[in-house]
Structure 1
Amino acid sequence: MNQVQRPVSRLAVIGLVLAFGAAAALLAGGLGHRAGWWHFTSGLKLAEWGVYGALVALAVSLLAAVLTWPDAARKRGFPLALVGVLATLPVIATAGYWVHAARTYPVINDISTDLDDPPVFRDMPNPTDHPGESFAAKQREAYPDIVPLMLAAPAQQVFEHARALVDERGWSVVAADEVDLRIEATDKSRLFGFVDEVVLRIAATPDGTRVDMRSRSRLGRSDLGVNAARIRAFLDDLAARNRDR
């Protein structure tokens, strides 16, 4: 006797379609702005709807998984429901990180190792001054480890290593002055391509070299901790490179 084949759960199919649609919306929002297809506000709105879609997809897929569990013998589609659940996780995790960062880090977007005399952006399209004490106070509280890097190596060598690290990171060099020992460059966020500006100021000292670094975001009020993380990682790598050679 032929066994009657159970129908595929519509909920499982709907959840899967919603999950992939949500992921596509998040990616399209960022990559579309990076490609110049739309303004960043439109990209953020599209990404926001992608997150909402992922939450709905998660709920639908979980319900479908319960209704199609192999032992339930109701409808087929448990593998589809499981894939739907898994497909929502990267979108929800990304949104969760953004929310966590927004609540954790201060609402500032300009970080400097020298708050008394911040390195100056001379060659950027909009070379504005440092925001001042209001930002400085928040930075001191949130990032007490962001301080000048002191090295025993000669300044010219440090400059060459710094320039090499900038190139290795794929930053776009705006200016590199071998006389004043200054480097200005830009970096882009991976998804949306938001531009952050970086300036390095290298100076000889009686004991070696002092390196100051400033990193700021062109857009937004909060950088979600990105600029401090960039400075921290770059100076750690620069220190390691000058210890190894």
Structure 2
Amino acid sequence: MTGQSSTPARKPFSRIAVIGFLGSLIGIGLFAASVIGYRSGTWFVAEVMNLAEWAVYASAVGCLLSLAGLVISRPEGGRRGLIISLLGLVLSAPLLGMTARFDYAARAYPPINDITTDRQDPPVFWDMPNPIDYPGGATAELQQTAYPDLAPLTLATSPEKTYAHALNIVKGRGWEIVADVPDEGRIEAVASSLVFGFKDEIVIRIQEDGDGSLVDMRSRSRVGRIDRGVNAKRIRAFLKDLKQASEG
């Protein structure tokens, strides 16, 4: 009598794991399309933000379904799909993490997008495409409450040396220089955000102050009504580097 060996039936693949992976993949694709669409000038900000919002929704669904697929496809479970569930989580994590960070910053910082070291006599944009005056009023009050440390920087170096240091720092940061006017002690530049390339306008004003110099700076966002604290951070970091360069 010949014995017959039976092989165990192979587990079916988890549909939930597959849909979760596809959701995360779609989220990444939509977000990439929104970035490309804005940077290429194909879409306006409103269209880009709407598409990015749908990308977040797709990633959130993909993340939840991938988590469910992870449970279903665990070694003792009745389905396959552990690897694809993990891939779905990996794909959705960056976009959801970035969204959570942006949402937190939107709540943590005041709803303003124009920051200056001198709220009474702010530096003026002269060479930007659409120069806008510092709003003052409620904006100045909110800035004072949120960023009381921002103030003009006094340096012992001459205005000429301070200007040279400031220009080197601007170039080192890769900002687009719009105006370089040493006779007026004025530098205007544009900084672009890493992902979408949103533009922030910057003006640096350097004046004589006794034997040294007085430095003021203003940074404002072209897009949106809030900046999530980016402009204040930029001013702090720049003035810190300028002080170190002047004292070095």
User: What is the TM-score with the length of structure 1 in the denominator?
Assistant: 0.95
**Equivalent residue for 2:239, pick from 230, 235, 240:** 235
CA contact (8 A) 1:171 1:186 kept: yes
Give the letter for the 1:98 counterpart. F
Is 2:50 the partner of 1:48? no
**Equivalent residue for 1:130, pick from 130, 134, 151:** 134
- Structure 2 equivalent of residue 10 of structure 1: 15
- Structure 1 equivalent of residue 203 of structure 2: 199
Is 2:99 the partner of 1:95? yes
- Structure 2 equivalent of residue 214 of structure 1: 218
**Equivalent residue for 1:78, pick from 64, 67, 82:** 82
Taking the aligned partners of 2:34 and 2:244, their CA distance within structure 1 comes to: 38
Taking the aligned partners of 2:37 and 2:26, their CA distance within structure 1 comes to: 15
Which stretches of structure 1, 4 residues or more, deviate above 6 A after TM superposition? Answer: none
Give the letter for the 1:42 counterpart. E
- By how many angstroms is 1:27 displaced? 2.5
Question: What does the per-residue CA deviation read over 1:109-137, in whole Å, with 9 as the maximum and x for residues that have no partner?
Answer: 11000111000101111122111221110
Is 2:24 the partner of 1:19? yes
RMSD of Structure 2 on Structure 1 (CA) = 1.2
- Structure 2 equivalent of residue 108 of structure 1: 112
User: What is the TM-score with the length of structure 2 in the denominator?
Assistant: 0.94
- By how many angstroms is 1:207 displaced? 4.4
Give the letter for the 1:218 counterpart. R
SS in structure 2 of the partner of residue 213 of structure 1: strand
Taking the aligned partners of 2:186 and 2:167, their CA distance within structure 1 comes to: 9
CA contact (8 A) 2:70 2:82 kept: yes
Question: What does the per-residue CA deviation read over 1:142-162, in whole Å, with 9 as the maximum and x for residues that have no partner?
Answer: 011111111111111111111
5+ residue gaps, structure 2, are: none
CA contact (8 A) 2:158 2:211 kept: no
SS in structure 1 of the partner of residue 76 of structure 2: helix
Is 2:154 the partner of 1:163? no
- By how many angstroms is 1:141 displaced? 0.2
- By how many angstroms is 1:5 displaced? 2.4
Give the letter for the 1:78 counterpart. L
Taking the aligned partners of 2:15 and 2:246, their CA distance within structure 1 comes to: 61
**Equivalent residue for 2:69, pick from 44, 59, 64:** 64
Taking the aligned partners of 1:230 and 1:122, their CA distance within structure 2 comes to: 20
5+ residue gaps, structure 1, are: none
Give the letter for the 2:80 counterpart. R
Question: Quick check: which has more Rg, 1 or 2?
Answer: 2
CA contact (8 A) 1:177 1:183 kept: yes
- By how many angstroms is 1:31 displaced? 2.9
Taking the aligned partners of 2:54 and 2:176, their CA distance within structure 1 comes to: 32
